[in-house]
Chain A
Amino acid sequence: MISIKDLTFSYDRAESPQLTRVNLEFAAGEFVLVCGPTGSGKSTLLKAINGLAPHFTGGKLRGKITIDNQDVTGRLPHELAELVGYVNQQPEGWFVADTVQDELVYGLEQLGFDRERMAAELSRVTKMLGLQDLLDHPLSFLSGGQQQRVAIGAALAAGQRVLLLDEPTSALDVDAAAETVDLLKSLAKDHGVTILVAEHRFNNLLDKVDSVVVVNNDGTVEKGDAAWKFDEDLRQGLFNSDEQPERRQSISGDWALTASELTVSYADQVAVSKASLSIKAGEIVALQGANGSGKTSLLWAIQGTGNGSKAVSTGTVSVGSFGDPRDLKPRDRLKAITMVPQRAADLLFLNSLSEELSESDRFAEVSPNSTATIFAQLAGKVNPALHPRDLSSGQQLALVLALQLVKGANVLLLDEPTRGLDYVAKKHLASQLKSLGNQGKAILLATHDVEFVAQVADRELHLIEGVIQ
């Protein structure tokens, strides 16, 4: 179905090519996992197949790509629209319409299907993806898993035989992720769609896919079946926690954080109802729950800044000797309890790593290089002249952690810290959090990443529809 010959792709200012002499063949109905470390060119490989690379990303492509015996090298994405469907990382930013039905027919309208054929394709694709009951729903009201199904439906509406997905499960909770993987499996097996999935979280994919492509850091690729390579290499890397620091056996008896009867509401909607929790100094607690269960609202309420002016919280919170963080002045609050939000990069705004570090020292009124020392412990040696946007997601997270920790807070809240991290970066984060725990920090992390929770958490809390179970 797809054949790639001698493909080399390099971005304009990059020193080495992102993909080097790639030769791959995919059969019709093959279900393929594409994996590799962050920044290794997994996405680029997918984008090269439908023309987004180089037409949207810039860069230079050499080699030859054929789909269904047509030479598609150098063709524009819209010229390939009925051959290849593409689903982006975040479906919500990829939607072009307001309702499910409008989203599904958008591609058909662009491709000039007449009304009768459109209706036929629409009913075929809604049946295939089980979207019959959702057709009139606004896209923004759907759950993450439903949005993902709509995005897949929209990509296959014109009868595309090839489906490319970039991290389709990374933003989904466990159940929705499993459901998406099963759906993809049946699309490949029962409908003969050739599917390529680029994904970090491949644990639940490994048993379902027909083959695996590994994109290495040097841009070369290898292909094999699912059992190949993984049992030894990557699974080891993923689950082996040899290098992880030993957790301190006894956790001291002091409560670093207590919250009781905490209720968070937005205008007419209750996000969290009567949540009570306590965390000891040195303890790592995972707050688990599906998307939309109120994890983020709860963290912002505990931290005291509040998630926007419309969020109202009642109940009590107490952080050691500081009392209720909501009553503290902003600057004092940050010294008592600190938080890393879902998009850590939102906290970065200066032009180089060194400027970020010294600004942080100034704000925290600590001696120069204090932040840099913490950052070096977390991330190792990094060129200080780099722009913060050029750091990897793992390094950005480490930087934000350092900025937040230097203020001296003993309670650390993290919202979905593993989003966008590959398995190496995740393992690294786990060991960072464990050593912070050993230093006596109380850590509350909201996440739906079960594997990560198993690696770090001393205790788990489950939030279901705003209620701690």
Chain B
Amino acid sequence: MAEFSLKASRVQPGSWWLLGIASAIVAGLNVDPLALLAQIAILVTIILLAREYAPWSQSLKFYLALATFVVVVRVIFRILFNLPDGSTQIALTLPQLSLNLGFGGNVSLLGDVTASSLVAATTDGLRLAAIIVSIGLANTLANPRKLLKSTPAALYEIATAISVAINLAPQLIESLQRVRRASSLRGRSKGLGALAGTIVPVLEDTIDKSLSLAASMDSRGFGRRGILTKKLILSVRLISLASVVFTSVGVFVLLVGTGLQAAALGLLGAGFICILVTVRMTSKNSIRTRFKKETWLLQDFVVASVAIAAVSARLLGWQV
């Protein structure tokens, strides 16, 4: 069998998504800024080591830029809408502004900023940043087209839409670069906004490309389906209704949280099973077949178990 490798294309896209989602959950529950920074560093290292050349794998820097932006905005907002947090350690002394908006009394902006509030804001920002980089990991390493192949038939249309959308992002960047190069050949007079010369050609390009892809898929038989019997349609509707009821009641009980966790988990489990059954049943009207069997190899089990281990460790209260 093929040898062990952690390069992006050798691991199932599902495993990368599992790792990304697990990492996002861990980040969401984390309260330690240093641990969050370490997590981001680990994620970036994994991306750099595993990624290979592919159109969707070139977007790391955009995720990092977005993550940085989120942290900065979070801190700026904390300084701007400054509420006393009871601490006396002042890190930053700024003049306090008091605004009367005509309702709800005075609103105060700026003022003395405590060290603890800055740390809290940074931690919040880092948490979001780590979640963004986690999703970035899944997006840069998982091949969206291969992921599409392993979705159940009933979800195929939705998965296609998502995959086209994911594919579009790097294409947008590509056309953006091309159009910007082209417009530097023409120049632009001062009266025109900087975006004027790029948006129109890029949008046109993107729409053309997606329409062309859609036409191509349709011409080759995408969108064909078999026949569902009336009886089957009725039962699918009933079971999916049941799944909605089970999951919403389950979530409600869980959030109210009055010692009924076991019941809530039971309801959620029932809801989940109903969802699986509907997906299974509606997949029957698909006539689509697959040429290659996708099999999980050693590397997939390694990636998946790292993901599961990280989440379980966090849920059981250990520090990672």
Cβ-defined contact, B291 with A105, below 8 A: yes
Q: Which residue of A lies closest to B223 (CB)?
A: A78
Q: Which of A92-115 contact B (CB under 8 A)?
A: 93-98, 101-102, 105-115
User: When the two chains form the complex, which single residue of B204, B212, B289 contacts A118, counting CB atoms closer than 8 Å?
Assistant: B289
Nearest CB on A from B191, distance (A): 7
Which A residues are in CB contact (< 8 Å) with B209? 93
Cα–Cα distance between A244 and B181 once the two chains are bound (Å)? 34
Interface string of B212-240 (1 = CB under 8 A from A): 11111111111110000000000000000
Interface string of A293-314 (1 = CB under 8 A from B): 0000000100101011000000
Which A residues are in CB contact (< 8 Å) with B215? 52, 56, 77, 88
Cβ-defined contact, B213 with A94, below 8 A: yes
Q: Which residue of A lies closest to B220 (CB)?
A: A107
Cβ-defined contact, B187 with A331, below 8 A: yes
The answer to whether A363 has its CB under 8 Å from any CB of chain B is: yes
Q: Size of chain A's interface in residues, with CB distance under 8 A?
A: 67
Interface string of B181-212 (1 = CB under 8 A from A): 11111111101100011111100100011011
The answer to whether A179 has its CB under 8 Å from any CB of chain B is: no
Cβ-defined contact, A56 with B211, below 8 A: yes
The answer to whether A216 has its CB under 8 Å from any CB of chain B is: no
Q: Which of A314-334 contact B (CB under 8 A)?
A: 330-331, 334
Nearest CB on A from B57, distance (A): 12
Which A residues are in CB contact (< 8 Å) with B200? 349
Cα–Cα distance between A407 and B187 once the two chains are bound (Å)? 10
Cβ-defined contact, B177 with A338, below 8 A: no
The answer to whether B178 has its CB under 8 Å from any CB of chain A is: yes
Which A residues are in CB contact (< 8 Å) with B216? 88, 94-96
Known A-B contacts A78-B223, A94-B212, A112-B289; the reply to A308 vs B181 at CB < 8 A is yes
Cβ-defined contact, A110 with B184, below 8 A: no
Interface string of A439-469 (1 = CB under 8 A from B): 0000000000000000000000000000000
The answer to whether A254 has its CB under 8 Å from any CB of chain B is: no
Highest count of chain A CB atoms <10 Å: which of B182, B209, B223: B182
The answer to whether B145 has its CB under 8 Å from any CB of chain A is: yes
Cβ-defined contact, B183 with A349, below 8 A: yes
Known A-B contacts A349-B200, A363-B188, A363-B189; the reply to A110 vs B222 at CB < 8 A is yes
Q: Which of A73-101 contact B (CB under 8 A)?
A: 76-79, 81-82, 84-86, 88, 90, 93-98, 101
Known A-B contacts A93-B213, A308-B181, A404-B186; the reply to A349 vs B223 at CB < 8 A is no
Nearest CB on A from B114, distance (A): 43
Cβ-defined contact, A56 with B214, below 8 A: yes
Nearest CB on A from B185, distance (A): 5
Cα–Cα distance between A86 and B218 once the two chains are bound (Å)? 10
Cβ-defined contact, B220 with A112, below 8 A: no
Cα–Cα distance between A305 and B181 once the two chains are bound (Å)? 8
Cβ-defined contact, B183 with A154, below 8 A: no
Cβ-defined contact, A96 with B213, below 8 A: yes
Cβ-defined contact, B291 with A110, below 8 A: no
Cβ-defined contact, A362 with B182, below 8 A: no
Which A residues are in CB contact (< 8 Å) with B242? none
Interface string of A328-368 (1 = CB under 8 A from B): 00110010001111010111111000000001001100000
Q: Which residue of A lies closest to B188 (CB)?
A: A363
Nearest CB on A from B171, distance (A): 10
The answer to whether B143 has its CB under 8 Å from any CB of chain A is: yes
Which A residues are in CB contact (< 8 Å) with B61? none
User: When the two chains form the complex, which single residue of A97, A305, A338, A403 contacts B184, counting CB atoms closer than 8 Å?
Assistant: A305
Nearest CB on B from A211, distance (A): 24
The answer to whether A50 has its CB under 8 Å from any CB of chain B is: yes
Cβ-defined contact, A308 with B288, below 8 A: no
Q: Which residue of A lies closest to B204 (CB)?
A: A389
Cα–Cα distance between A86 and B54 once the two chains are bound (Å)? 27
Q: Which residue of A lies closest to B208 (CB)?
A: A93
User: When the two chains form the complex, which single residue of B196, B201, B212, B287 contacts A346, counting CB atoms closer than 8 Å?
Assistant: B201
The answer to whether B251 has its CB under 8 Å from any CB of chain A is: no
Cβ-defined contact, B192 with A359, below 8 A: yes
User: When the two chains form the complex, which single residue of A81, A109, A113, A303 contacts B185, counting CB atoms closer than 8 Å?
Assistant: A303
Cβ-defined contact, B288 with A349, below 8 A: no
Cα–Cα distance between A157 and B184 once the two chains are bound (Å)? 44
Which A residues are in CB contact (< 8 Å) with B224? 78-79, 81, 110-112
Nearest CB on A from B189, distance (A): 4
Which A residues are in CB contact (< 8 Å) with B186? 334, 347, 363, 400, 403-404
Known A-B contacts A96-B213, A349-B196; the reply to A81 vs B219 at CB < 8 A is yes
Nearest CB on A from B145, distance (A): 6
Cβ-defined contact, B291 with A346, below 8 A: no
Which B residues are in CB contact (< 8 Å) with A88? 212, 215-216
Which A residues are in CB contact (< 8 Å) with B109? none
Cβ-defined contact, A81 with B221, below 8 A: yes
The answer to whether B310 has its CB under 8 Å from any CB of chain A is: no
Which B residues are in CB contact (< 8 Å) with A97? 145
Cβ-defined contact, B288 with A110, below 8 A: yes
Interface string of A40-65 (1 = CB under 8 A from B): 00000000001010011000000000
Highest count of chain B CB atoms <10 Å: which of A56, A78, A88, A119: A78
Cβ-defined contact, B185 with A339, below 8 A: yes
Cα–Cα distance between A158 and B219 once the two chains are bound (Å)? 12
Which A residues are in CB contact (< 8 Å) with B288? 109-110, 112
Which B residues are in CB contact (< 8 Å) with A107? 220-221
Interface string of A240-265 (1 = CB under 8 A from B): 00000000000000000000000000
Cα–Cα distance between A112 and B209 once the two chains are bound (Å)? 27
Which B residues are in CB contact (< 8 Å) with A76? 218, 223
The answer to whether B50 has its CB under 8 Å from any CB of chain A is: no
Cα–Cα distance between A94 and B215 once the two chains are bound (Å)? 8
Known A-B contacts A94-B212, A109-B290, A115-B291; the reply to A346 vs B183 at CB < 8 A is yes
- Name A's B-contacting residues (CB within 8 A): 50, 52, 55-56, 76-79, 81-82, 84-86, 88, 90, 93-98, 101-102, 105-115, 118-119, 122, 154-155, 158, 300, 303, 305, 307-308, 330-331, 334, 338-341, 343, 345-350, 359, 362-363, 389, 400, 403-404, 407
Q: Which 10 A-B pairs have the closest CB atoms?
A: A110-B221, A81-B221, A112-B287, A346-B182, A107-B220, A363-B189, A362-B189, A94-B216, A77-B218, A105-B291
24 CB contacts below 8 A, A to B, read: A56-B214, A94-B212, A94-B216, A95-B216, A96-B220, A98-B54, A98-B145, A98-B146, A102-B145, A107-B220, A110-B217, A112-B289, A115-B289, A122-B291, A305-B181, A305-B184, A305-B185, A307-B181, A308-B177, A334-B186, A339-B185, A347-B186, A349-B200, A403-B186
Given contacts A341-B185, A350-B196, 6 further A-B contacts (CB under 8 A): A52-B219, A88-B212, A93-B212, A109-B291, A334-B186, A341-B182
